[in-house]
Amino acid sequence: MSSSDGSAARTSDREVILSAHDLVKHYPIRSGVVKRTVGQVKAVDGVSFDLYKGETLGIVGESGCGKSTLGRLLVQLERPTSGSLHFDGVDMTQQSGNALRRLRRDIQIVFQDPYTSLNPRKTVGDIIGEPFDIHPDVVPKGGRRRRVQELLDLVGLSPEHINRYPHQFSGGQRQRIGIARGIALNPKVLVCDEPVSALDVSVQAQVVNLMERLQDELGLSYVFVAHDLSVVRHISDRVAVMYLGRIVEIGDEEQIYERPTHPYTQALLSAVPVPDPTLRGKREQIVLSGDVPSPANPPRACRFHTRCFKAQDICSVEDPALDPRPDGRGAHPSACHFAEPRTIVETIDVSS
Amino acid sequence: MSDTLSETDVARGESSWTPTDGRLLDVEDLQVEFRTRDGVAKAINGVSLHLDEGETLAVLGESGSGKSVTAQAIMGILDTPPGFITGGSVRYCGTELLTMTEKQRREIRGPEISMIFQDALSSLNPVFPVGWQIAEMLRVHRGANRSDAREAAIRLMERVNIPGARQRVNAFPHQFSGGMRQRIMIAMAIALDPAVLIADEPTTALDVTVQAQIMALLAELQEERRMGLILITHDLGVVADVADRIAVMYAGKLVETADVHSIYAAPAHPYTQGLLASIPRLDQKGQELAAIGGLPPNLTRIPPGCPFNPRCRYAQDVCRHDPPPALREVRPGRRAACHFAEDVLADSAREFDHPHHVHGDGGEERR
């Protein structure tokens, strides 16, 4: 178990590659004939984190918690309402035009749905080669076809399939095409928005293994957005748990899965079924009541207090900060007044 | 709880159906094909299943394995054309369903065998209030008048834990969240107190916290009514939590059937073994995912021999050339459709024990 201290030390002296500070994205709700703004959907509401070189940061949460919006903010597909996003010392939110385009070369995204994120009227060669049209200096014009074939080979597809169309591929193969497009410009950061959730179980592992191999080979940093906590544990070095537009707990994989201190993280972990019938009835289940409140009208102070089993008066008055709080062995950031470690998942180490 | 439903208007009607020896449903050698422009897709190739009272049978499979089609064939809601049942039998309490007229079928569908669908939003009618849709079951099948049926609908909504049922009975489907819509589907499905409930991916579109609520509700209802439950899913985690028996499907065939404990302890078919090795587990770290190579076959071009042979690490010539292996008993109560099931079983027992033995304390301390 000394590995936790080791990994903590490792992250502290590693290089920060992407740094988000107080990112906010509000969408206006318009109504009436003149489309007056009547409210705000607070999709992302003050998110800060650092991404280190070569690591995988998992971002988990239920639908509507803002994790996909956060992913899109990181590649500046959405411009934030406020906050900053530093990549290589440059604030991306202040850039536009050519300068932003140059920065985006280093931060690419892979989308969730391999069925709608590929243009059905373009061949695979056109799809993967399109980034080179926008950034022509990456690969000289004559070498593009070769480069696309190399990329196909790298993601485990046959280079001969360069002239095929997306519909001729299965879901898993299409996701490989999406990944090939994502890494075409040799980015430093790849944001993956639910890259395996649309895939069948037997194919999901192929894509997860591919992503791990590419990370090793290309030295990529991943931001891995997903709702499946088992997949996120498998692939991530660090994990951030989001609830209603905010990070409620962040730490390395062990801290989040073995010593979670936020009640939401604990409830989320306890709800994930484990494929082992011998644990039936033996695992502690924290059943949350109700649904996630609307992000257009989030609860005051601690946003989780309406569903929290630990909530007290203070929770609806004072917003808990995302500060390091003791987790039994050390401390990691958790946004709860009553943060307390609790073992939800009995972990077995199967690494050999 | 249950006494709210034992009122006359919702109680189980005079059912003329009584299972012999607790056997509710018997599916034998079911064959379904879809006649499409691209050729004939053999969606189901000889599936045999049975379901007893109070039992949960999980049908596990990936998309295209035929698990939903099996459910549709049992319910008698297969789209014909393009789908055709070309052989086999489906018996409910000993009576053949496939030869019944549509009128007779309707007396089974709902009061006896009922179904919950995956996508609650598209399964509910968007232009009618949810209470009306639940009450429709009672008006049509029981001849209840509007106000009685409405009251019953409110009680059913309360039973499935929809808060403020009386206030929300006239609300429309789009005014509910995904989890609440699924509860409404469940309320409709149990309205006539069926003996068999088929749940087709009931929680796939839902978040884990809501999934836990819905699975707990289903388990509670099943316990209360002694329903037989067929749970169709691809989620090996959900299955481990609730199933008594498991039937694994691949390319329209059953490849393995067993009780839940033995299948997870040591799968007897290479496909089941591959599935279990390829899913990341929440309670393990440092796990290596052993992906199954290749893709599930196209149902219009199922490979000759065993349909799994191109992806199988045990495959030999016999698997490629001989007719597909039949589902045979490999251990008491366990059946697998593989020429090398005994080898697979022995290997699985060794491999799956491995993590527990290496970390000796893990096996004991795990809760």
B359 with A291: Cβ contact below 8 A: no
Quote the minimal CA–CA distance from B178 to chain A in Å. 9
Q: Cα angle at B21 between B15 and B22, to 5 degrees?
A: 55
pLDDT value at residue B365: 29
Q: Answer with the residue of higher pLDDT: B224 or A240.
A: A240
Q: Stretch A123-131: mean pLDDT, rounded?
A: 92
Please determine, for residue B366, whether its predicted confidence score (pLDDT) is greater than 70: no
pLDDT value at residue B9: 42
With contacts defined as CB-CB under 8 Å, which chain A residues touch B292?
Answer: 202, 205-206
Whether chain A has a CB inside 8 Å of the CB on B278: the answer is yes
B237 with A283: Cβ contact below 8 A: no
A277 with B240: Cβ contact below 8 A: yes
A275 with B279: Cβ contact below 8 A: yes
Quote the minimal CA–CA distance from A135 to chain B in Å. 34
Structure tokens of B279? Answer: 């899913």
Nearest CA in chain A to B357: A350
pLDDT for B26-35, tens place per residue?
999 999 999 9
- For A129, A136, A186, B187, B234, the CA distances from A180, given in Å and listed in that order, are 10, 17, 10, 46, 28
3-state secondary structure B85-144: EEEEEEEECCEECCCCCHHHHHHHECCCEEEECCCHHHHCCCCCCHHHHHHHHHHHHHCC
Whether chain A has a CB inside 8 Å of the CB on B238: the answer is yes
3-state secondary structure chain B: CHHHCCCCCCCCCCCCCCCECCEEEEEEEEEEEEEECCEEEEEEEEEEEEEECCCEEEEECCCCCCHHHHHHHHHCCCCCCCEEEEEEEEEECCEECCCCCHHHHHHHECCCEEEECCCHHHHCCCCCCHHHHHHHHHHHHHCCCHHHHHHHHHHHHHHCCCCCHHHHCCCCHHHCCHHHHHHHHHHHHHCCCCCEEEEECCCCCCCHHHHHHHHHHHHHHHHHHCCEEEEEECCHHHHHHHCCEEEEEECCEEEEEEEHHHHHHCCCCHHHHHHHHHCCCCCEECCCCCCCCCCCCCCCCCCCCCCCHHHCCCCCHHHHHCCCCCCEEEECCEEECCCCHHHHHHHHHHHHHHHHHHCHHHHHHCC
Quote the minimal CA–CA distance from A85 to chain B in Å. 29
Nearest neighbour of B275 by CB, restricted to A202, A270, A349:
A202
- Where does the pLDDT of residue A163 fall: very low under 50, low under 70, confident under 90, or very high at 90 and above? very high
Whether chain A has a CB inside 8 Å of the CB on B46: the answer is no
pLDDT for B311-344, tens place per residue?
998 988 999 988 888 899 988 889 999 999 999 9
* Least confident interval from A194-198, A306-310, A337-341, B124-128: A194-198
Nearest neighbour of A229 by CB, restricted to B282, B289, B355:
B282
What ipTM is given for this predicted complex? 0.81
A149 and A191 Cβ atoms separated by less than 8 Å: no
Average pLDDT, chain B: 85
pLDDT for B228-256, tens place per residue?
999 999 889 889 989 999 999 999 999 99
Nearest neighbour of A274 by CB, restricted to B234, B281, B296:
B281
pLDDT for B17-28, tens place per residue?
887 778 899 999
Q: Which of A348, A349, A351, A352 to mutate to test the interface with B (most CBs of B within 10 A)?
A: A348
pLDDT for A29-40, tens place per residue?
888 888 888 888
B287 with A231: Cβ contact below 8 A: no
The whole model's pTM is what? 0.86
Structure tokens of B154? Answer: 């409110």
Quote the minimal CA–CA distance from A269 to chain B in Å. 8
Q: What distance, in Å, lies between the first and last C-alpha atoms of chain A?
A: 15
DSSP assigned state of A82: E
- Where does the pLDDT of residue A9 fall: very low under 50, low under 70, confident under 90, or very high at 90 and above? very low
pLDDT value at residue B36: 85
Quote the minimal CA–CA distance from A75 to chain B in Å. 26
Please determine, for residue B258, whether its predicted confidence score (pLDDT) is greater than 70: yes
pLDDT value at residue A6: 41
Region at A3 (left for phi over 0; alpha for psi -120 to 50; beta for the rest): alpha
Q: Stretch B138-146: mean pLDDT, rounded?
A: 89
CA–CA gap between residue A170 and residue B218 (Å, rounded): 34
With contacts defined as CB-CB under 8 Å, which chain B residues touch A230?
Answer: 237, 279-282
pLDDT for A203-237, tens place per residue?
889 889 999 999 999 999 999 999 899 999 999 99
Nearest neighbour of A201 by CB, restricted to B62, B179, B207:
B62
Q: Which of A62, A170, A203, A231 to mutate to test the interface with B (most CBs of B within 10 A)?
A: A203
B 295-354 residues inside an 8 A Cβ radius of A: 295-296
Cα diameter, chain A: 67
- Across the A:B interface, residue pairs with CB atoms under 8 Å apart total 168
Q: Stretch A311-326: mean pLDDT, rounded?
A: 92
pLDDT value at residue A38: 85
With contacts defined as CB-CB under 8 Å, which chain B residues touch A3?
Answer: none
Q: Which of A157, A167, A199, A201 to mutate to test the interface with B (most CBs of B within 10 A)?
A: A201
Nearest neighbour of A201 by CB, restricted to B209, B234, B260:
B234
pLDDT value at residue B14: 56
A350 with B180: Cβ contact below 8 A: no
Quote the minimal CA–CA distance from B328 to chain A in Å. 24
Please determine, for residue A7, whether its predicted confidence score (pLDDT) is greater than 70: no
pLDDT value at residue A13: 62
Average pLDDT, chain A: 89
Nearest neighbour of A291 by CB, restricted to B177, B208, B239:
B177
